[in-house]
Amino acid sequence: MAEEKKLGTNPKDLLGTDKVPLSRIPPVAILHEGMAMGNGGDKYGSYNWRGNAVQADIYIDAAMRHILAWYDGEEVASDSGVHHLGHARASLGILLDAQATGNLIDNRPTGGKAAEVLEKLNATRKTYRAKQKESGK
């Protein structure tokens, strides 16, 4: 019978647990993002945003359009045949990379109160749902 080994005793395991857990990213998501990045690279050149600064709102708008198209029932973009969520991930990935490399034109509006309003609305919704539950609705 093979000797049973204890989990978590390998020195690499102890160091590895403090690193970014890349294995938690679903491979299917990476594949769809790769298709979108390939499509963009074919059109505009791979990593084109590293040579030219990008405006945050352009990529946010693109990501939101793709998310809304998918949410409305369309799986793939008609112009590319690539999954809308892959395109959205690619847009967000470009934003993260541009921000990290100093190539982002941060043209977001002055900070608002969205987080604060969301917290209040969530509390209101929770109260409403609790009252609905109590009344048997």
pLDDT in tens, the chain (137 residues): 566 666 667 777 777 788 999 999 999 999 999 999 999 999 999 999 999 999 999 999 999 999 999 999 999 999 999 999 999 999 999 999 999 999 999 999 999 999 999 999 999 999 999 999 998 87
HSE on the CB side for 64, CA within 13 Å?
A: 6
Task: For residues 33 and 116, give the distance between their C-alpha atoms in angstroms, rounded to a whole number.
Answer: 32
- The predicted pLDDT at position 27 comes to 98
- The residue ranges of every structural domain in the chain are 24-110
pTM: 0.84
Q: Residue 3: what pLDDT?
A: 65
> What is the predicted pLDDT for the residue at 45?
96
Please give the structure tokens belonging to residue 108: 């977001």
Give backbone dihedrals phi and psi of 135, rounded to 5 degrees, phi first: -85, 0
Cβ count within 10 A of residue 83: 22
- CA-to-CA distance for 37 and 31, rounded, in angstroms? 10
